[in-house]
Amino acid sequence: MAYEFPPLTPGDAATVAARVAAVLEDAWQRLADYQAAVLAAIGDNPRSRMVADRIAQFQAAIVDFRQRVDAEARAFVARQLPYLYEQGARAAAERVGGHFSWTLIHTEALQSLASDSYADFLRRSEEEQRMAAQFYRAVRDAARREVPLLAAGHTTALQAAKALADRLAAEHQLAYVIYRDGARMPVRAWAEAATLAKSALAYNAGTLNRAREAGVQFMEVFDGSDCGWTSHQDTDKPNGTIRSVEEAAAWPISHPRCRRAFGPRPDYVREV
């Protein structure tokens, strides 16, 4: 039985990322559990009504996973992103003087960020849903084509059913997600990485837009000492350097779990 999580409460980025990851991992584990139940039913008696019932439960679990992703993505972009954007903007306002209010530049920026973030969550979940759907189709096809022919050779029906279940398990593992580029990643890992990346983008967008609104042209970069500007491996190490607002907006983070942040430098004038 899936655990019922309370509504998402905006706050610390790592805490929210862990919560989103837990919700999606819980839904994915439910899929894996129902897959195991389907395989066990096939191994015991592939012609039984139990197999059909387990397949139906697995199909319902696919729908549940899709709904969980959608619900968490909507809650994240509606609650956490505005909170972090405002936190970043208020931090910038303290540095440049003045205050923060949701002017047009900020509402438009947040709407764009929310739309992109929501779409990205759905894209990332497509591989999981594709894998689950492949298993569902494979079991249905096996029920129509292979089950009627079990034990047609020199094995008993039970041996043949067990072999079929083992083959389906080997061909459709749900322990991790296999992406089209061959990368393998558990659901929890991609959910945490995606949520942390969007959180950092929201906070930095608030900082940069409030600085730009105040006429600030340069930002000081706060980053890991070994983190590169455009990627973790980039030899351009930005920590402690001064970059233009435009440069900072082009590279607000350099990798999914990036801790990059910016501080307005209204006092800085670049030498010609």
Indicate whether 152 pLDDT > 90: no
| Digit-coded pLDDT (tens) for 106-150 | 999 999 999 999 999 998 888 889 899 999 999 888 877 777 766
Domain-wise residue ranges, the chain = 13-215, 217-272
* Chain position carrying tokens 């929310």: 114
| Digit-coded pLDDT (tens) for 4-22 | 789 999 999 999 999 999 9
Task: Please give the radius of gyration of the chain, using alpha carbons only, rounded to the nearest integer.
Answer: 25
Q: Indicate the pTM of the whole model.
A: 0.88
Q: Could you count the other beta carbons within 10 Å of the beta carbon of residue 123?
A: 10
- Cα–Cα distance, 6 to 23 (Å, whole number): 10
User: Residues 54-73: what's their mean pLDDT?
Assistant: 94
The predicted pLDDT at position 188 comes to: 92
Measuring CA to CA, which residue among 3, 5, 14, 31 is closest to residue 191?
14
The predicted pLDDT at position 2 comes to: 53
Q: Could you count the other beta carbons within 10 Å of the beta carbon of residue 12?
A: 11
* Sheet with strand 242-244: strands edge to edge: 242-244, 218-222, 261-264
Q: CA-based diameter of the chain, in Å?
A: 85
Q: Please state, in angstroms and as integers, the Cα–Cα distance from residue 164 to each residue in 147, 156, 167, following that order.
A: 9, 12, 5
Query: Higher pLDDT residue, 178 or 125?
Result: 125
- Cα–Cα distance, 53 to 138 (Å, whole number): 16
* Residue 19: partners with Cβ closer than 8 Å, 6 or more residues away: 5, 8
- Cα–Cα distance, 49 to 228 (Å, whole number): 58
- Amino acid letter at 43? G
Indicate whether 1 pLDDT > 50: no
Indicate whether 196 pLDDT > 80: yes
Within 13 Å of residue 61, how many CA atoms lie on the same side as its CB? 30
